[in-house]
Structure 1
Amino acid sequence: MRHEKPKQKRLIWRATQKELRQWDEDLGRINKEEASLKKTLKNLNMKYQKIIATRYEKANTVSYEEDRKQKELERSLAYIDNLLKGLKKKNKNKIS
């Protein structure tokens, strides 16, 4: 036995001019809201990109500054180490 779908009745609905105008106004309002949301999203995305870029720059600047300070500290420590070695040699020579 074959199962047949019942025929669907087609509903014909005619919109009045007033309803059409209302839909048109609603569609216009929705389009404006959508454009506003897109603009807001674009602005937020630009701000986010600026924040990321700033953080990246700061990270590079900080690491550059830290590297510079680290090298300066290493040079100072090497200088102090050389002075101490020189003092030890002088003291050895005086004792000998």
Structure 2
Amino acid sequence: MTTSAIRAKLAARGVATEPPYGCSWCGDERHHHGSQWAPIIGLHQWIEPDHALILERMRRRRAARKPHTSPPPLPPWEETVEEAARADDQYWDRDTDDEPEE
């Protein structure tokens, strides 16, 4: 089975890339592989991929990920942790003696 055929088969199932530890021949994961037919090898059980294939699949999956974006800014009415801590310190540091000293 060619790489493009494997990718097409996985895409039909809604999987964008082969799992890194999927079968060497068909890309299916071990836990639901069973016996499957692949044109090149025929009927086969799950075959462990070699390290080069695992690395290739991991790199392909990483390249397909969306870039990390920073979270949206907080609305103006939500205070940050630092602002809350500062307000708390000001509350406890305030002078609470309302009675005049004698």
Normalised TM-score (structure 1)? 0.31
Instruction: Identify, as 1 or 2, the structure richer in helix.
Output: 1
Q: Please tell me whether Structure 1 or Structure 2 has the larger radius of gyration of its CA atoms.
A: 1
Normalised TM-score (structure 2)? 0.30
If asked which structure has higher relative contact order (CA below 8 Å, sep 6+), I would say: 2
Instruction: Identify, as 1 or 2, the structure richer in strand.
Output: 2
